[in-house]
Chains A and B, each alone.
Chain A
Amino acid sequence: MPIPWGIIAKPGTTRKNKTGSWRTYRPVVDLEKCTSCGTCELFCPEGIIVIEKPEKYKTDYDFCKGCGICAEVCPYEALEMEMEVK
């Protein structure tokens, strides 16, 4: 019997659900201020911020819900929440 449909799901399949459509504000980075400290990466509830030193802040706008936590926790105030313009 194959995997019973509807009761068991395959891993990581929520990636099909692009929650980026939820947001009103989007985080925008000031690359001059960003030091790649990784604080935002740690605190993002979606886990979509990627800091690979020495590269700077990078996020996946397909999933970013615009919660603003990254901007709030950044010790260097390198992130601003700007109104999403479609």
Chain B
Amino acid sequence: MKKVVEGSKGVAEAVKLCRPQVIAAYPITPQTHITENLAQFVADGELKAEYVHAESEHSAASIVLGASAAGVRAYTATSSQGLILMAEVLFNIAGMRLPIVLTCVNRALSAPINIWNDQQDSFAVRDAGFIQLYAETNQEAADTHIQAFKVAEHKDVQIPVMVAMDGYILSHSYEPLEIPSLKEVDGFLPPRKAPFKLDPKSPLSFGVMGPPTHYMETRYHLHQDLKNAKEVVKEVDKEFGEVFGRSYGIVENYFADDAEVVFVSLGSVVGTIREVVDTLRNEGKKVGCLKIRLYRPFPSDEVREMLEDKKKVLVVEKDISLGATGGLYSDLVTSLYGLPKVPSIYGFIVGLGGRDITTQTVLKIIEESEKPAQADKFIDLDEEIVKLSPLAERRS
């Protein structure tokens, strides 16, 4: 049924349909509307879940960890500082193979403090062992949550999933969304059957110490299982398409086949890039876009297949590993290394701290791509502000 709802509410509705048994969260902008909507559902008896008002994000993640270990379906959501505060717990959840689902409503990291959108937060924890999926639209955000529970709880996966969606741009914008029915979701997503859990009938000890003699093997297991989860993500997305009529793939090829210059990006900015691709193609320019939806595990094979004979690859992302390059850029370069013909790879940093990205921004990127490739080119910088700092002369 199609309703005009705020992106956050769409996610809340989708999560509600998945029948989580425990929800724990701590408020942080711009995640708040998701958890507020969920609270209202519980308050009205529409969702039978235990709703826990955690006293910090670290505890929110710990509460869902404990609940998941006890065998129930658990969910949390956060952004930015909250995600970084719970970083320790994220590694713990993944290491203990607990299939929770977490929404990261992407927001910039302090300092300076900034409540607007960029992707630094989810990128900062990409090593934690979570599956990471990035949503481009509100519809995709809602749908991906339903897929997320199924992927996480799959018998060959048992790995937590993070669904990343751009703060404000997606979370706080209103669009008509197709919200599935409970019957459809129940048919697609059965109740969780935990293969191992805390139960006095069959006692187990979770979180034992892994000494040097076998810590490495445990990490190897997780790494391999994470890589193999790519196939499960594909399967679940395909099945979702069959049931609900919408599917997204793990990457999407937007006119990249005959393109010489291909944008690579993730999240909502892909929507803006599509518009520019359409405009330029109308003018006869051979450009295309490769949208990355599954970021962890990284879909190297698919990326290689689509980009190996391109002239130029323009990576556009809203994050930077300070002192080096953007995360997507480095993963991409790694994927394309060793090919007989490696494209020229450009790394563009855009939209940090909520800096608006318009079609003009994307066109500027096209202009920049006429110059030699740079790995960490910041786009749309205000030169006047750049000059303000005392060290301005030392900067390139």
Interface locus among A1-9, A15-23, A27-35:
A1-9
Identify the interface centre among B196, B207, B215: most chain A CB within 10 Å of its CB: B196
Decide if B205 touches A9 in the complex (CB within 8 Å).
Answer: yes
A9 to B211, CA, bound (A): 14
Decide if B206 touches A6 in the complex (CB within 8 Å).
Answer: no
A1 to B96, CA, bound (A): 13
A11: interface (CB < 8 Å): yes
Decide if B204 touches A7 in the complex (CB within 8 Å).
Answer: no
**Given A9-B205, A10-B204, A11-B204, A4–B97 Cβ distance below 8 Å?**
yes
Closest approach, in angstroms, between the C-beta of A1 and any C-beta of chain B?
Answer: 5
Decide if A2 touches B204 in the complex (CB within 8 Å).
Answer: no
Contact of B196 among A3, A6, A11 (CB under 8 A): A3
Residue of B whose beta carbon sits closest to that of A11: B203
> Count the A residues whose beta carbon is within 8 Å of the partner chain — how many?
11
Closest approach, in angstroms, between the C-beta of B95 and any C-beta of chain A?
Answer: 7
* B204: A residues at CB distance < 8 A: 3, 8-11
* A3: B residues at CB distance < 8 A: 195-196, 204
Closest approach, in angstroms, between the C-beta of B261 and any C-beta of chain A?
Answer: 44
Q: Please encode chain B, from 206 to 227, with 1 for each CB lying within 8 Å of some chain A CB and 0 for all others.
A: 1110100011011001000000
* A8: B residues at CB distance < 8 A: 96, 196, 204-208
Residue of B whose beta carbon sits closest to that of A6: B218
Q: Please encode chain B, from 38 to 76, with 1 for each CB lying within 8 Å of some chain A CB and 0 for all others.
A: 000000000000000000000000000000000000000
- Known contacts A4-B218, A6-B218, A10-B205; 14 additional CB pairs below 8 A are A3-B196, A3-B204, A4-B221, A5-B217, A6-B214, A7-B206, A7-B207, A7-B218, A8-B196, A8-B205, A8-B206, A8-B208, A9-B208, A11-B205
Binding site for B on A (CB under 8 A): 1-11
19 A-B pairs, CB-CB below 8 angstroms?
A1-B195, A2-B195, A3-B196, A4-B97, A4-B158, A5-B214, A5-B218, A6-B208, A6-B217, A6-B221, A7-B96, A7-B207, A7-B208, A8-B196, A8-B204, A8-B205, A9-B205, A10-B205, A11-B205
